[in-house]
C-alpha cells in the first residue's frame, strides 16, 4: 500500500487532501504537524511521498525548511516531496530546493494535479 505523509495541513485542508488522495489510490496517509516530527517519522517509516504545506498550520513554520532538511539528508533526499501551495513562485522555489512540482489546495480537482501525484507514485 502507498504511504503518503501530509505535513502541516489544517483540519479542513488535510481532509480535502485525504479525500483527493483516496480517490486516486489505496493509500495510508500519515498526518504530521511539525518539521521535526516529519524528519523523525521519515527515518522510522517508509513513505512514498511527502506533501508539505507552504506554512505549517501548527506554528506557521516555512514548509521549505522541511524540503531543505530532506535534501541535505542522505537517507531522506530520495523520498519525493511536493509543496502544497497555490502560488507558482513558491512552487518554483520548492523545485529549486529539490521538490517535485506540487499543487495548491484550490487545484485538487484538476487533472494536472492528479497526474503529478500519479507520476510520482506509479
pLDDT above 70 covers what percent of the chain? 100
User: Is the Cβ–Cβ distance between 47 and 3 less than 8 Å?
Assistant: yes
- State pLDDT tens for residues 94-117: 999 999 999 999 999 999 999 999
Distance in angstroms (rounded) separating the CA atoms of residues 56 and 107: 19
Q: How many domains, in total, are found in the chain?
A: 1
pTM, rounded to two decimals? 0.96
The whole-number pLDDT of residue 122 equals: 83
For 106, the domain range is 2-121
> Is the Cβ–Cβ distance between 105 and 63 less than 8 Å?
no
Mean pLDDT across 64-92: 97
Give me the phi and psi of 33, to 5 degrees please.
-95, -35
Write the CATH number for 67. 3.40.50.2300
Which residues are CB-neighbours of 111 under 8 A, at least 6 positions away? none
| Length in residues, the chain | 122
Amino acid at each position: 500500500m502507498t504511504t503518503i505523509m501530509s505535513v502541516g495541513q489544517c483540519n479542513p485542508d488535510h481532509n480535502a487532501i485525504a479525500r483527493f488522495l483516496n480517490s486516486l489510490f489505496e493509500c495510508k496517509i500519515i498526518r504530521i504537524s511539525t518539521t521535526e516530527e516529519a524528519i523523525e517519522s521519515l527515518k522510522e517509516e517508509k513513505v512514498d511521498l511527502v506533501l508539505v504545506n507552504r506554512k505549517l498550520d501548527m506554528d506557521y513554520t516555512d514548509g521549505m525548511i522541511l524540503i531543505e532538511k530532506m535534501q541535505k539528508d542522505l537517507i531522506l533526499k530520495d523520498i519525493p516531496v511536493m509543496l502544497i501551495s497555490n502560488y507558482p513562485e513558491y512552487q518554483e522555489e520548492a523545485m529549486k530546493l529539490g521538490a517535485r512540482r506540487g499543487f495548491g489546495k484550490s487545484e485538487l480537482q484538476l487533472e494536472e494535479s492528479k497526474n503529478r501525484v500519479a507520476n510520482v507514485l506509479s
